Chains A and B, each alone.
Chain A
Protein backbone atom coordinates (compact mmCIF):
# COMPACT_ATOMS: atom_id res chain seq x y z
CA UNK A 1 0.00 0.00 0.00
CA UNK A 2 1.95 3.00 -1.31
CA UNK A 3 -0.72 5.60 -0.45
CA UNK A 4 -0.45 8.67 -2.67
CA UNK A 5 2.48 8.90 -5.08
CA UNK A 6 3.51 11.76 -7.36
CA UNK A 7 5.61 11.79 -10.51
CA UNK A 8 8.02 13.50 -11.07
CA UNK A 9 9.57 14.68 -7.81
CA UNK A 10 11.33 17.65 -9.42
CA UNK A 11 11.20 19.35 -12.80
CA UNK A 12 12.65 22.41 -14.47
CA UNK A 13 10.74 23.96 -17.38
CA UNK A 14 11.30 26.88 -19.67
CA UNK A 15 8.55 29.44 -20.09
CA UNK A 16 6.02 28.22 -22.63
CA UNK A 17 6.80 24.53 -22.26
CA UNK A 18 4.14 22.05 -21.27
CA UNK A 19 4.16 19.18 -18.82
CA UNK A 20 1.91 16.80 -16.94
CA UNK A 21 2.13 15.87 -13.29
CA UNK A 22 0.84 12.44 -12.36
CA UNK A 23 -0.81 11.53 -9.08
CA UNK A 24 -1.72 7.95 -8.21
CA UNK A 25 -3.47 6.51 -5.17
CA UNK A 26 -4.09 2.91 -4.19
CA UNK A 27 -6.64 3.48 -1.43
CA UNK A 28 -9.72 3.36 -3.68
CA UNK A 29 -10.53 6.96 -2.80
CA UNK A 30 -13.24 8.76 -4.73
CA UNK A 31 -11.93 12.28 -4.16
CA UNK A 32 -8.61 13.60 -5.45
CA UNK A 33 -7.11 17.08 -5.27
CA UNK A 34 -4.27 19.19 -6.58
CA UNK A 35 -2.80 21.96 -4.43
CA UNK A 36 0.04 24.37 -4.88
CA UNK A 37 2.15 25.60 -1.99
CA UNK A 38 3.94 28.92 -2.07
CA UNK A 39 5.87 30.60 0.76
CA UNK A 40 3.55 32.48 3.12
CA UNK A 41 0.45 31.37 1.20
CA UNK A 42 -0.23 27.96 2.69
CA UNK A 43 -1.84 25.43 0.36
CA UNK A 44 -4.28 26.56 -2.28
CA UNK A 45 -6.61 24.23 -4.12
CA UNK A 46 -6.13 24.20 -7.90
CA UNK A 47 -8.61 21.56 -9.07
CA UNK A 48 -10.32 18.57 -7.57
CA UNK A 49 -12.30 15.54 -8.61
CA UNK A 50 -15.20 13.84 -6.86
CA UNK A 51 -15.01 10.70 -8.95
CA UNK A 52 -13.76 9.09 -12.13
CA UNK A 53 -14.52 11.28 -15.14
CA UNK A 54 -15.31 14.39 -13.07
CA UNK A 55 -13.28 17.50 -12.33
CA UNK A 56 -13.99 20.87 -10.74
CA UNK A 57 -12.19 24.14 -10.25
CA UNK A 58 -10.68 25.13 -6.97
CA UNK A 59 -9.36 28.44 -5.72
CA UNK A 60 -6.57 28.99 -8.29
CA UNK A 61 -7.40 27.03 -11.48
CA UNK A 62 -6.11 29.42 -14.17
CA UNK A 63 -3.30 28.05 -16.31
CA UNK A 64 -3.95 24.43 -15.30
CA UNK A 65 -6.03 21.59 -16.64
CA UNK A 66 -6.81 18.23 -15.06
CA UNK A 67 -8.14 14.85 -16.04
CA UNK A 68 -9.43 11.85 -14.08
CA UNK A 69 -9.75 9.07 -16.64
CA UNK A 70 -9.11 6.36 -14.08
CA UNK A 71 -10.23 6.37 -10.47
CA UNK A 72 -6.72 5.90 -9.15
CA UNK A 73 -5.05 8.61 -11.24
CA UNK A 74 -5.39 12.39 -11.30
CA UNK A 75 -3.33 14.33 -13.84
CA UNK A 76 -2.41 18.01 -13.65
CA UNK A 77 -1.38 19.69 -16.89
CA UNK A 78 0.39 22.93 -17.62
CA UNK A 79 -0.12 23.77 -21.30
CA UNK A 80 2.18 26.80 -21.39
CA UNK A 81 4.25 27.16 -18.25
CA UNK A 82 4.86 30.59 -16.72
CA UNK A 83 7.35 31.64 -14.01
CA UNK A 84 4.36 32.33 -11.73
CA UNK A 85 3.71 28.59 -11.73
CA UNK A 86 6.98 27.90 -9.96
CA UNK A 87 5.76 26.15 -6.85
CA UNK A 88 5.52 22.90 -4.96
CA UNK A 89 2.53 20.85 -6.06
CA UNK A 90 0.79 18.42 -3.78
CA UNK A 91 -1.76 15.81 -4.65
CA UNK A 92 -4.19 14.44 -2.07
CA UNK A 93 -7.05 11.96 -1.91
CA UNK A 94 -9.93 11.13 0.42
CA UNK A 95 -12.99 8.92 0.71
CA UNK A 96 -16.24 9.99 -0.83
CA UNK A 97 -18.53 12.56 0.78
CA UNK A 98 -20.71 11.27 3.58
CA UNK A 99 -18.15 9.04 5.20
CA UNK A 100 -16.97 10.04 8.65
CA UNK A 101 -13.33 9.72 7.71
CA UNK A 102 -12.92 12.81 5.54
CA UNK A 103 -9.16 12.96 6.09
CA UNK A 104 -7.10 13.89 3.07
CA UNK A 105 -3.94 11.91 2.47
CA UNK A 106 -1.10 13.77 0.79
CA UNK A 107 1.60 12.79 -1.63
CA UNK A 108 5.25 13.85 -1.17
CA UNK A 109 5.04 16.77 -3.59
CA UNK A 110 6.51 17.84 -6.93
CA UNK A 111 8.85 20.81 -7.05
CA UNK A 112 8.47 22.74 -10.28
CA UNK A 113 10.76 25.54 -11.39
CA UNK A 114 9.79 27.57 -14.45
CA UNK A 115 12.58 29.69 -15.91
Chain B
Protein backbone atom coordinates (compact mmCIF):
# COMPACT_ATOMS: atom_id res chain seq x y z
CA UNK B 1 0.00 0.00 0.00
CA UNK B 2 1.17 3.49 -0.72
CA UNK B 3 2.31 5.62 2.19
CA UNK B 4 3.67 9.08 2.79
CA UNK B 5 6.09 10.00 5.56
CA UNK B 6 6.73 13.47 6.84
CA UNK B 7 9.40 12.87 9.47
CA UNK B 8 9.17 16.28 11.13
CA UNK B 9 6.06 16.99 13.18
CA UNK B 10 7.16 20.53 14.02
CA UNK B 11 9.80 22.81 12.54
CA UNK B 12 10.75 26.27 13.77
CA UNK B 13 12.49 28.63 11.37
CA UNK B 14 13.58 32.21 11.84
CA UNK B 15 11.95 34.75 9.58
CA UNK B 16 14.15 35.28 6.54
CA UNK B 17 15.86 31.91 6.87
CA UNK B 18 15.55 29.13 4.34
CA UNK B 19 13.15 26.24 4.75
CA UNK B 20 13.09 22.61 3.73
CA UNK B 21 10.25 20.25 4.63
CA UNK B 22 10.82 16.58 4.01
CA UNK B 23 8.50 14.11 2.35
CA UNK B 24 9.19 10.49 1.49
CA UNK B 25 6.79 8.12 -0.17
CA UNK B 26 6.53 4.40 -0.54
CA UNK B 27 4.90 3.24 -3.73
CA UNK B 28 5.46 0.73 -6.50
CA UNK B 29 5.63 3.31 -9.26
CA UNK B 30 6.23 7.03 -9.26
CA UNK B 31 2.94 8.58 -8.16
CA UNK B 32 1.59 12.04 -8.65
CA UNK B 33 3.02 14.24 -5.87
CA UNK B 34 1.50 17.23 -4.15
CA UNK B 35 2.14 19.73 -1.39
CA UNK B 36 -0.79 21.41 0.37
CA UNK B 37 -0.79 24.13 3.01
CA UNK B 38 -3.36 24.65 5.72
CA UNK B 39 -3.50 27.91 7.65
CA UNK B 40 -5.13 27.80 11.09
CA UNK B 41 -8.88 27.26 10.84
CA UNK B 42 -8.77 27.05 7.06
CA UNK B 43 -9.11 24.40 4.38
CA UNK B 44 -6.23 23.02 2.35
CA UNK B 45 -4.68 24.99 -0.47
CA UNK B 46 -2.54 23.46 -3.20
CA UNK B 47 1.03 24.80 -3.24
CA UNK B 48 2.44 22.75 -6.10
CA UNK B 49 2.28 19.40 -7.82
CA UNK B 50 4.51 17.05 -9.80
CA UNK B 51 3.15 14.96 -12.62
CA UNK B 52 6.10 14.47 -14.98
CA UNK B 53 8.96 16.30 -16.68
CA UNK B 54 11.21 18.75 -14.86
CA UNK B 55 11.89 17.40 -11.38
CA UNK B 56 12.08 20.90 -9.87
CA UNK B 57 8.56 22.24 -9.55
CA UNK B 58 7.65 25.83 -8.85
CA UNK B 59 4.56 26.65 -6.83
CA UNK B 60 2.72 29.55 -5.37
CA UNK B 61 3.97 31.85 -2.60
CA UNK B 62 7.62 31.33 -3.59
CA UNK B 63 7.70 27.61 -2.79
CA UNK B 64 9.41 24.94 -4.86
CA UNK B 65 9.83 21.20 -4.53
CA UNK B 66 12.26 18.73 -6.01
CA UNK B 67 11.35 15.18 -6.97
CA UNK B 68 14.17 12.70 -6.44
CA UNK B 69 13.26 9.28 -7.77
CA UNK B 70 16.32 7.57 -6.27
CA UNK B 71 15.38 8.75 -2.80
CA UNK B 72 11.58 8.51 -3.20
CA UNK B 73 11.43 12.06 -1.92
CA UNK B 74 9.59 15.25 -2.75
CA UNK B 75 10.95 17.92 -0.40
CA UNK B 76 9.47 21.38 -0.20
CA UNK B 77 11.74 24.41 -0.08
CA UNK B 78 11.58 28.15 0.26
CA UNK B 79 14.66 30.39 0.23
CA UNK B 80 13.34 33.00 2.66
CA UNK B 81 10.48 32.34 5.05
CA UNK B 82 7.92 35.01 5.96
CA UNK B 83 5.88 35.09 9.16
CA UNK B 84 2.77 34.48 7.07
CA UNK B 85 4.15 31.07 6.06
CA UNK B 86 3.42 29.72 9.53
CA UNK B 87 0.95 26.91 8.85
CA UNK B 88 0.69 23.15 8.56
CA UNK B 89 2.06 21.55 5.41
CA UNK B 90 0.91 18.26 3.97
CA UNK B 91 2.59 16.12 1.38
CA UNK B 92 0.29 13.83 -0.61
CA UNK B 93 0.50 11.21 -3.33
CA UNK B 94 -1.97 9.79 -5.83
CA UNK B 95 -1.54 6.76 -8.09
CA UNK B 96 -1.02 7.28 -11.81
CA UNK B 97 -3.51 4.55 -12.57
CA UNK B 98 -6.83 3.67 -11.04
CA UNK B 99 -9.02 6.06 -9.17
CA UNK B 100 -7.61 9.36 -8.09
CA UNK B 101 -7.51 9.10 -4.32
CA UNK B 102 -4.94 11.05 -2.36
CA UNK B 103 -2.90 9.63 0.49
CA UNK B 104 -1.69 12.31 2.86
CA UNK B 105 1.24 12.49 5.19
CA UNK B 106 0.54 13.44 8.79
CA UNK B 107 1.71 16.98 8.26
CA UNK B 108 4.51 19.26 9.42
CA UNK B 109 3.68 22.32 11.50
CA UNK B 110 5.87 25.27 10.57
CA UNK B 111 6.50 27.88 13.24
CA UNK B 112 8.23 31.11 12.26
CA UNK B 113 10.18 32.99 14.91
CA UNK B 114 10.95 36.73 14.69
Contact = CB atoms under 8 A, between A and B. Distances in A.
A40 B106 contact: yes
A3 to B, nearest CB: 9
B100 A45 contact: no
Given A40-B106, A102-B94, A103-B49, A58 B101 contact: yes
B15 to A, nearest CB: 26
A97 B42 contact: no
Contacts of A104: 46, 100, 102
B100 A102 contact: yes
Chain B interface size range = 20 to 34
Given A106-B43, A106-B44, A109-B43, A97 B100 contact: yes
Given A90-B43, A102-B32, A106-B44, A43 B100 contact: no
A45 B42 contact: no
Interface string A91-115: 0101001001011111111000000
B9 interface: yes
B44 A41 contact: no
A74 interface: no
A107 B46 CA distance: 12
Interface of A: 4, 31, 33, 40-45, 48, 50, 56, 58, 90, 92, 94, 97, 100, 102-109
Given A31-B99, A48-B99, 12 more contacts: A4-B43, A48-B101, A56-B99, A94-B100, A97-B98, A97-B100, A100-B51, A102-B100, A103-B34, A106-B36, A106-B45, A109-B42
